[in-house]
Structure formats: structure tokens, C-alpha cells
A and B are shown apart, each in its own frame.
Chain A
Amino acid sequence: MYNPANSRMIELVHVNRVFQRADGQMVKAVDDVSIVIKEGEFVCLVGPSGCGKSTLLQMVAGLIEPSDGDIAVAGKEISGPGRERGMVFQKDSVFPWMRVIDNVEYGLKCRDVPTAERRDIARTYLERVGLAHVEKAWPRELSGGMLKRVAIATVFASGGSVLLLDEPFGALDYVTRHQLQSVLLDLWNEGGSAARRTVLFVTHDVDEALALADRILVFHSGRKIDDLAVTAERPRFTDSLLLPEMVAIKHTLLAHLGLEKRAAPPKMAAGERTGS
């Protein structure tokens, strides 16, 4: 069983984010959210669209600033984007004017890693995501799923200890999505539990969250409304998703999303996580 180190990798304290709409009305996208995420944890943020989960992720990435509140990563308050945090976006973010391998090297290049060394690292990760054969290709020659693999290889290669994924597989077909989920889990798991990076993964897909997460945070109208631990063994196949505890969590999630009328009863799913 995975046993996370007891450090506070990501810490959000009373974070708020207010937007002004075109009609002048102020909208609270993120409303007083406080979260502590441990090192090596795989956390999924789930909620209906417009619930503030993506805004929250972009604040942790440093791409937008909170209106109020503090965000710290590895004990340090963040200001702007940082190399310890890698981001994978929903839309294609791979630079079309660089060949695949140059894309994967980009983060290392920004850190002035010597050419030979960064090429080795990039090759390693391209191989891990199954794209060794297209390292010299232009991104326009790749499919959407392959581009996602490039994006994943890029963040892993650049070596951040925190990975932020904003609905990365949302636009992919069923088969590709599942393939990429296992690519992601394999990379996350490659060095054993001690080497795991901390992952924040935004998704609107309940089954995806159940398949991936150690912990699922549920958002609604900018607020965090639930915090569920998922303790089933990985990798989780169809059968794992049918375990009573998983079914219970799924009922809870569906109820939160307004897709099920009955309130989810199971004790083990609600409230604080039980694993630690």
C-alpha cells in the first residue's frame, strides 16, 4: 500500500479568486479554499464545469494570481510559474515550430542543461511514452493522442516535483484516454512510492478520477465541498471499479454532480481521508 511522506507539498490557505464579468458583476470563481496536499499524492479535482477547479489549478501553476489567500509549494510561497511545477493543458500546447524532441527538451533548455545531457533525458522520456520513433517529426504530423504523450514527456523530462494537469485527456477518444491514463500512472510510479511526484489532476470524468486518484476533491461553485480518499490498489481495472468502496465513492461523486438524487450514505467515503 502506498504510504505518502508526511510533508506538506502543496498548501492553499483561504484562497479566493474573483473575476469581473463583462457586465461588471463580480464572480467568485474560487471561494475560500484551503487544502493541504502531501508529497507523492495523486489528487483529482472534480466538479461541474465552472466550479473553479481549473482556476484553482492555474493559480497553483502561477499563471493567474489569487485575489486573496496564500499558496505555498514545498514550503515556499509561489510568485508566478516555477520550474518545480509542470503543467499539462487540455488544448494542444506542444510548440508546432519545434521538432518533437526539441519540445521535450524545452524545459531543460530553459534551465541551461547541457545539450548532450538534455537530449539523453528527452530520449528517455520519449521512449517511456512510446514515441521514440518520431523524435524528429514535426508536431503537425502527430495525432492528438501522440501530442498529449509529447506534453506528458515534456513535463516529466523537465523534472518538476509537482505536476498540474488541467483536463489533459478531456478531448481524446475513449481508447486513447485509457492508454494515456496508464502511461501517466506508469511514469508517476516508475521510481517506486518514494520517488512519486505530487499530482493535481483536474477532470470532469468521474471514472477517470476513480481510476487515477489517491484522493478526490470535489468542487462546486468555487467551494471545496468534499474530500474523498480512494484506497483501492493500482492499477485499477474494470473489476476494481466494481469494489463496494469504489461504487460508494462513485455514488457520492454522482450525487455531488447532481446526477443522482439519493444522498450517498457510505461512511468510509465521506469526510477526511482515512489513509494517513
Chain B
Amino acid sequence: MTVTTRARRDRWISVMVFAALAGIWQILSVVYTAEAQPGEPMIAGWQVLFTKTFLTLSDYWQGGLGVSAVADGAERSYLAALLSILSHSIDTIGRLSLGLALGGAVGLLLGLAVSWSRWTRRLFDWPLQFLRTLPLLAMVPLFQLWFGTYFFGEVLFVAYGIAVIVFAGTVNAVRNVPPIYIDNARSLGASRWTLYRTVILPAIFPAMRSTILLSLGAGWSAVLGAEYLGAQSGLGYIIVYAQQFAYLDRMFLVALLFILYTSISYWAISRLSARLLAWAPPSQRR
């Protein structure tokens, strides 16, 4: 049996599992008909989720683009629901991406700084190891009071959550770079700057791949956590709002969106990093 047919068969297994889960959910919705409140089933079937529930998401559309908000007296519509999902997703994903970029860059630089010289180690290592141990979600109110609840505060909070993970991962990865590569570069005349650019950075990349995927997961949690606790927009905000009225179907629909987005982000990052790791043996690329 060739590798490709085996891969195709494996993919079929995944699809089957996915379909089976959806089927089980549908059966449960028929069998278990309890309601959280009148008209709000604990388990909403797919026919409800993609019609009634989807429509209700237009409640969160704040108006604009020629489509009025439900709060201003407009009827619920699929267009408003779609715009609502798009705008809240953009808010969440925007916060996440900026936070990832900022936190990743800061964490990487500080992590590299720890090994740069004895001075920078003294300066950064201990305080950052200390910051790392602070529980992330406990810091949300602080960030919101300092930096506001709309955008800046959320981004900084995500960046903080990412930075501490990337920092720890970088310090560890740099420690594990085989000394022979460093000796070789130095004996060939590399300056410290060249050494970091051409040896340390590529050498830590295989180890950083798992750190990046880890921090992506943490980033999704951080942005959601930040939105639960006070943001005025975003997918996390919809969930909190829905929870207050026990709209279980809406919460479930948003959760499905999350599953979709996180899967896409994981897939994109692992594709990208696999391409950047073309030099590494296959075992390090998966």
C-alpha cells in the first residue's frame, strides 16, 4: 500500500469521526428535550442552529453598511447575522493577531537577551521568570483598568500571555542549541550579532515550533478571557451576553466558530513552519 492511499484512508477516518460526532449531537437533541427556559433547548439540533439561532446573532450587529441594528427596531435578517459574525470575529481575530505578533516579538527578544551576555541575563532572567508565575486570568482586570476595555487593553493582555510563554520557550531552546554550531560559527569569524542571526535563530526554530503552537492556544484563551471579562465586542462578548439570558444555542454556535477558527490557525501555522523547516529531518517537521 502506498503512502498516499494510506494518507487518504486516514483522512476518511477523520471525516467519519467528524460526521459521527455531528450525528450523535443531532440524536441527543431529539432524545434529550429539556429546556433551559421556554423555547431554549439545552441541546439545539442542527436545523435550529443554522436557522433560528443564526438569525438571532443579528441582535449583536451594531448597525452600519446600510443594515440597521435590531436594537434600532430593524427585523432580524441573515445579512445582519452574517455582518454581526464577521465584525465580532474581526475584532477577536484582530486582537489575537496583534497580541500574538507583539507578544511573540517581545518574548523572543527577551528570551534571546538572556543568553546574549552576563549583563542581560542578570537584567531580564529573574524578573521575567517571576512574571511568568503570575496567573494569567487574574491579570485581566488590571490590564483593563490600566489600558481600557476596547482594544489596547485586550491586545496588551494577549501580548503579555504570549510573551511569557515565548520567553520561556526561547530561553529553553537557546540552552539546547548544540555548542558545536556556536563553536563552528565563532571559529569561522562570526560576530555575536551574526551568530544570533545565522545560527541561534535557525537552530532554535524546530524547538520553537511547539512553543508557537502552544502560545497560539494560549492566545485564543487569553483573548476569550479578556472578552469575557469586560470587552464590548468580540466572540467572547457574545458568549457572555448569551450566557446571561441562558441562550445555549447561541453559545454553542459561537463555540463552533471558535473550533473553526482555531483549526484554521493551527493548520496555517503548521503549514508555514513546515515550509520554513525544509532543512530539518522529517521527524522534526511534523
The residues of A with any CB-CB pair to B shorter than 8 Å are 61-63, 80-83, 85-87, 89, 91-93, 95-99, 106-107, 110-111, 138-140, 154-155, 158, 164
Contacts and interface: CB of A to CB of B under 8 A. Distances in A.
A-B CB proximity, top 7 nearest: A107-B188, A97-B202, A93-B184, A87-B187, A83-B189, A110-B189, A81-B186
Given A138-B278, A138-B279, A140-B281, A91 B180 contact: yes
Given A138-B278, A140-B279, A110 B183 contact: no
B186 A63 contact: yes
Q: Which of B187, B189, B190: most chain A CB closer than 10 A? A: B187
A85 B186 CA distance: 11
19 contacts: A61-B183, A62-B186, A62-B187, A81-B186, A81-B189, A82-B189, A83-B188, A95-B185, A95-B198, A95-B202, A96-B280, A97-B203, A97-B280, A107-B188, A110-B185, A110-B191, A138-B278, A158-B188, A158-B189
A82 B280 CA distance: 30
Contacts of A97: 202-203, 205, 279-280
Interface in B166-194: 180-181, 183-191, 194
Nearest to A91: B180
A81 B183 CA distance: 9
Nearest to A154: B188
Given A81-B187, A89-B183, A110 B194 contact: yes
Nearest to B181: A95
Contacts of B198: 95, 98, 106
Contacts of B189: 81-83, 107, 110-111, 158
B184 A89 contact: yes
Q: Which of A80, A81, A89: most chain B CB closer than 10 A? A: A81
A95 to B, nearest CB: 6
B199 interface: yes
B130 to A, nearest CB: 30
A68 to B, nearest CB: 23
Nearest to B195: A110
Given A63-B186, A107-B189, A89 B280 contact: no
Interface string B263-286: 000000000000000111100000
Q: Which of A62, A87, A97, A139: most chain B CB closer than 10 A? A: A97
A27 B149 CA distance: 62
Given A96-B280, A97-B202, A97-B203, A110 B180 contact: no
Contacts of B194: 110
Nearest to B188: A107
Interface string B187-228: 111110010001100110100000000000000000000000
Contacts of B185: 95, 106, 110
Contact of A140 (B181, B199, B280): B280
A186 B277 CA distance: 36
B190 A96 contact: no
B187 A61 contact: yes
A96 B184 contact: no
Give the interface SS of chain B, mostly helix, strand, loop or mixed: helix
A163 B223 CA distance: 56
Contacts, number: 70
Contacts of B205: 97
A87 B199 contact: no
B142 to A, nearest CB: 41
Contacts of A107: 188-189
A149 B153 CA distance: 55
B181 to A, nearest CB: 6
Contacts of B202: 95, 97-98
A86 B180 contact: no
Contact of B184 (A82, A83, A95, A140): A95
Contacts of B281: 140
Contacts of B203: 97
A155 B188 CA distance: 8
Contacts of B186: 62-63, 80-81
A87 B280 contact: no
Contact of A93 (B180, B279, B280): B180
A82 B190 CA distance: 9
A53 B210 CA distance: 40
A198 to B, nearest CB: 15
Contacts of B183: 61, 63, 87, 89, 93
Contacts of B184: 87, 89, 93, 95
B110 to A, nearest CB: 23
A156 to B, nearest CB: 12
A89 B281 CA distance: 22
A154 B189 CA distance: 12
A86 B185 CA distance: 10
Contacts of B188: 83, 86, 106-107, 110, 154-155, 158
B275 to A, nearest CB: 13
Contacts of A164: 187
Nearest to B194: A110
Nearest to A93: B184
